[in-house]
Chains A and B, each alone.
Chain A
Amino acid sequence: MIARCVGVVGDGVTRSTTPQPPLKGVILVGGPSTGTRFRPLSMDLPKPLFPIAGRPMIHHHAAALAALAGMREILLMGFYEERIFDRFLDDLRNEFPQIAFRYLREYRALGTGGGLQHFSSELLRGNPAHLFVMNADIASSFPLREMLVDHQARSALATVLGIETDRSEARQFGCLVVDPETAAVKHFVEKPETFISNVISCGVYLFNPPIFDVMSEAIAARRATLQDELALDAEDVQASQQDERVNLEVDVLSRLTATGQLFAHVCVPQIDFWMQIKTPTSTIPANRQYLQYFREHAPRKLSRTEAELISPVYVHPSATVHPTARIGPNVSIGPRCTIGKGVRVRDAILLDQVDVKNDAAVLSAVVGWEGKIGAWCRVEGAPAESNQANEHATHKGMKIPTATILGKNVTLANEIAVRNCIVMPHKEIKTSCHNEILM
């Protein structure tokens, strides 16, 4: 497992001595209109840059891609404004100088498949042998190396990363029916109404360049369908810009299953983890998953401080934590935070410049940028999760404990309790509240 340390690069150990074919990676970041379920945390920062375990959400993707021998270029693709990822990309260039990073902006939402097709010439420049494509809103151990080995051994056109999930929850995802002997995907259905399979798509794909031919076919087929169904003439379809909106999973992958060209690499239970990050509350288990994974595989990404600390914890070097505070487990504390004496923090994410006064408790919560938590406050998510609930989050992706989410610059008066609340940015809360959304 050491060979799979996320983001551990440049130490030579993880790189094979045999030359690897050139690789590229694409992270599908979406746009401002796709992160609504992530409010209020997406109101002040694009969701893909939201920090989880001390790093932007998609830094974990980029680091996993960068750790692969042969990785030449990593591209973000989406429809956010141009400059939004500038600083993030600069940081990546500094961290991984041997790899090129770029943002490809879609000027209109093309759908996951449409966007890839639109930028096909960019993506194929430099003749990469394989192309990783991954969704931004996931947290995972990203077993990309194993996926690549499988992909090459099977001479696959496309490989999808899958994970076994609980039977009752599989229907919320794209379900894969995998041949147990050949690993070929025999059937793929997005969010089926009935049970199909307990193996689901993780939204991580590995393609060979001919995939773009399949995408062209899918676009042509969709255009024809639209004309039939909507009884529109070709001109109207062009004008409505519907034709290029091809969904990678629905339109392309199901097409590949018919020809036997899609294979699955299924995550190893107990070792790999994967979950979606759709809502603010899901950042808590995602943070926990990454921190616990780092404890096993990349302990130097975690922190030691003078405070009473229960691993795993990440504390930014510029944060100040009083020695009598008790931090952890599963806590990320951002830059320039101030944690006062006798403070308790567990299962929480504190973003930049959060100020927690003495003896306050922050439990199962996200505190937004510049948040101010008064003395003896209690900021808390649902009742303490049992071990069973933790396991639940680990293996089933979507099942997440509820949490209290404070937007940017929220101020809590001394001694109040805020439990299971979502608080919009720039609010001042003076009395205790429970189970509320505070506008």
Chain B
Amino acid sequence: MKALILVGGFGTRLRPLTLTMPKPLVEFANRPMILHQIEALVRAGVTDIVLAVNYRPEIMSDFISKYEKELGVRITFSVETEPLGTAGPLALAKDILGKDDSPFFVLNSDVTCEFPFAAMIAFHKAHGAEGTLLVTKVEEPSKYGVVVQYPQQSTIERFVEKPKEFVSNRINAGLYLFSPAILRRIKPTPTSIEKEIFPKMALERQIHAMDLPGFWMDVGQPKDYLTGTGLFLTALAKSLAAPGPNIVGHVLIHPTATVSPLAKLGPSVVIGAGVTVGPGARLARTVVLDGASIKAHAWLRDTIVGWNASVGRWARLEGVTVLGEDVHVAEEVFLNGAKVLPHKSVGASIPEPTIVM
């Protein structure tokens, strides 16, 4: 089987992290983001993966060739010379996606969930139409485009963008399985699959929705990245650090990290490779990327600490603060919602959300 992952551009929404690392390689729960999807695809029997990018992918090639060998999968880049939207990349990769009759997956790279690909394949075969789309339930559907199905059927009747009145609480999860027949609908020009292709397929009753069990999150920006981390850790609970007086809720600690037994972590904390956490430090809803150092008595909540960054003693970071790579925060400083670009030192408090260039 085959798959296409829509990686897209520079990941500007996840800056300042993506200023030093392409988004697919930014760790999510201590694994490069894209690896979660690649591994799930391989488990479902996928052998050919296309990464649709619209920047030069050289920076990722070493990484990709390493995992090609490790996972026994063929990974190719499909480079767009201009952004082709969510449908155009399918046409560009037509040779691979349409090389046989087997269906292929299309994934938005920012999405995290439990990736029920085997169930999708079974569902797709059972209904026999051109497309399968995963839907997830949300509490406030009016913020999204919702999917309306025929009563008691999986067949999609229509799509409604930001409905004013309740019509459905199911939204497009950004994960699809298509039969190669869909390729005839798409040209290699900028096209939105959601707005231009799916409505036509719905008219022809060629697209079905499958409920996504478990959690779902688009982790393309820092706030959602932190929320998604919490959901992911909850689903992963059994393989996490054992709760104790200094571990609250779900905490993932890399085996090479050094965490003081006097630090208190959780809930929803990820500690990356080679990270040190000093005594009396307190972390909640926080991700610390590889090589960073959290000094004694520092307090962090809703914060992402970039690679090799450091946070001084008695510093307080909150309000979706994001430290880029190699950022150094002085002792006793207070940061609220600060976004700090790579290689900066922060010596004074930032009480209101600010970007530090």
What residues make up the interface of A, taking CB atoms closer than 8 Å to B? 324, 326, 341-342, 344, 346, 358-359, 361, 363, 375-376, 378, 380, 383-384, 415, 417, 419, 434
| A380-B334, A417-B316, A419-B334 as given contacts; A359 in contact with B280, CB under 8 Å | yes
A344's partner among B282, B301, B314 (CB-CB below 8 A) is B314
Task: Map CB proximity to A onto B326-350 as digits: 1 under 8 Å, 0 otherwise.
Answer: 0000001110000000000000110
Is B334 a contact of A344 with CB atoms below 8 Å? Answer: no
> A378 vs B336: C-alpha distance in the bound complex, in angstroms?
13
B348's partner among A326, A380, A384, A434 (CB-CB below 8 A) is A384
Looking at the assembled complex, report how far the CB atom of B321 sits from the nearest CB atom of chain A, in whole angstroms. Answer: 13
Is A376 a contact of B282 with CB atoms below 8 Å? Answer: yes
> A128 vs B262: C-alpha distance in the bound complex, in angstroms?
64
Is B299 a contact of A415 with CB atoms below 8 Å? Answer: yes
A-B pairs with beta carbons under 8 Å apart, 11 shown? A324-B279, A324-B280, A342-B280, A344-B332, A358-B280, A359-B281, A361-B332, A376-B299, A378-B299, A380-B334, A419-B351
Is A342 a contact of B296 with CB atoms below 8 Å? Answer: yes
Is B349 a contact of A378 with CB atoms below 8 Å? Answer: no
Name B349's closest neighbour in chain A (CB-CB): A383
- Chain B 289-345 interface residues, beta-carbon cutoff 8 Å to A: 296-297, 299, 301, 313-314, 316, 318, 332-334
Residues in B with CB closer than 8 Å to A383 are 348-349, 351
> A384 vs B314: C-alpha distance in the bound complex, in angstroms?
14
> A96 vs B195: C-alpha distance in the bound complex, in angstroms?
89
| A378-B316, A383-B348 as given contacts; A359 in contact with B332, CB under 8 Å | no
Residues in A with CB closer than 8 Å to B316 are 361, 378, 417
Given contacts A344-B332, A359-B314, A376-B282, 18 further A-B contacts (CB under 8 A): A341-B280, A342-B279, A342-B296, A342-B297, A358-B280, A359-B297, A361-B297, A361-B316, A363-B332, A376-B299, A378-B299, A378-B316, A380-B334, A384-B333, A415-B282, A415-B301, A417-B316, A419-B334
Looking at the assembled complex, report how far the CB atom of A130 sits from the nearest CB atom of chain B, in whole angstroms. Answer: 48
Residues in B with CB closer than 8 Å to A344 are 297, 313-314, 332
Is B299 a contact of A384 with CB atoms below 8 Å? Answer: no
Looking at the assembled complex, report how far the CB atom of B299 sits from the nearest CB atom of chain A, in whole angstroms. Answer: 5
Residues in B with CB closer than 8 Å to A324 are 279-280
Is B351 a contact of A361 with CB atoms below 8 Å? Answer: no
Question: How many B residues are at the interface, by size bracket?
Answer: 10 to 19
What residues make up the interface of B, taking CB atoms closer than 8 Å to A? 262, 279-282, 296-297, 299, 301, 313-314, 316, 318, 332-334, 348-349, 351
> A215 vs B274: C-alpha distance in the bound complex, in angstroms?
78
Name which of B314, B318, B351 has the most chain A CB atoms within 10 A of its CB. B314
Name B278's closest neighbour in chain A (CB-CB): A342
Residues in A with CB closer than 8 Å to B349 are 383-384
**Leading 7 A-B pairs by shortest Cβ distance:** A342-B280, A359-B280, A344-B314, A359-B297, A342-B297, A361-B314, A376-B282
Looking at the assembled complex, report how far the CB atom of B276 sits from the nearest CB atom of chain A, in whole angstroms. Answer: 16
> A193 vs B280: C-alpha distance in the bound complex, in angstroms?
54
Looking at the assembled complex, report how far the CB atom of A316 sits from the nearest CB atom of chain B, in whole angstroms. Answer: 23
> A263 vs B297: C-alpha distance in the bound complex, in angstroms?
55
Residues in A with CB closer than 8 Å to B279 are 324, 342
Name A375's closest neighbour in chain B (CB-CB): B282
> A95 vs B32: C-alpha distance in the bound complex, in angstroms?
70
> A376 vs B318: C-alpha distance in the bound complex, in angstroms?
13
Residues in A with CB closer than 8 Å to B334 are 378, 380, 417, 419
| A342-B297, A361-B332, A415-B299 as given contacts; A434 in contact with B351, CB under 8 Å | yes
Residues in B with CB closer than 8 Å to A361 are 297, 314, 316, 332
> A378 vs B262: C-alpha distance in the bound complex, in angstroms?
19
> A109 vs B67: C-alpha distance in the bound complex, in angstroms?
86
Looking at the assembled complex, report how far the CB atom of A308 sits from the nearest CB atom of chain B, in whole angstroms. Answer: 11
Residues in B with CB closer than 8 Å to A341 are 280
Residues in B with CB closer than 8 Å to A376 are 282, 299
Looking at the assembled complex, report how far the CB atom of B173 sits from the nearest CB atom of chain A, in whole angstroms. Answer: 34
Looking at the assembled complex, report how far the CB atom of A175 sits from the nearest CB atom of chain B, in whole angstroms. Answer: 36
Looking at the assembled complex, report how far the CB atom of B310 sits from the nearest CB atom of chain A, in whole angstroms. Answer: 17
Looking at the assembled complex, report how far the CB atom of B324 sits from the nearest CB atom of chain A, in whole angstroms. Answer: 22
Residues in B with CB closer than 8 Å to A415 are 282, 299, 301
Name which of A359, A375, A378, A383 has the most chain B CB atoms within 10 A of its CB. A359
Residues in A with CB closer than 8 Å to B296 are 342
Residues in A with CB closer than 8 Å to B299 are 359, 376, 378, 415
Residues in A with CB closer than 8 Å to B351 are 383, 419, 434
Residues in B with CB closer than 8 Å to A434 are 351
Is B280 a contact of A346 with CB atoms below 8 Å? Answer: no
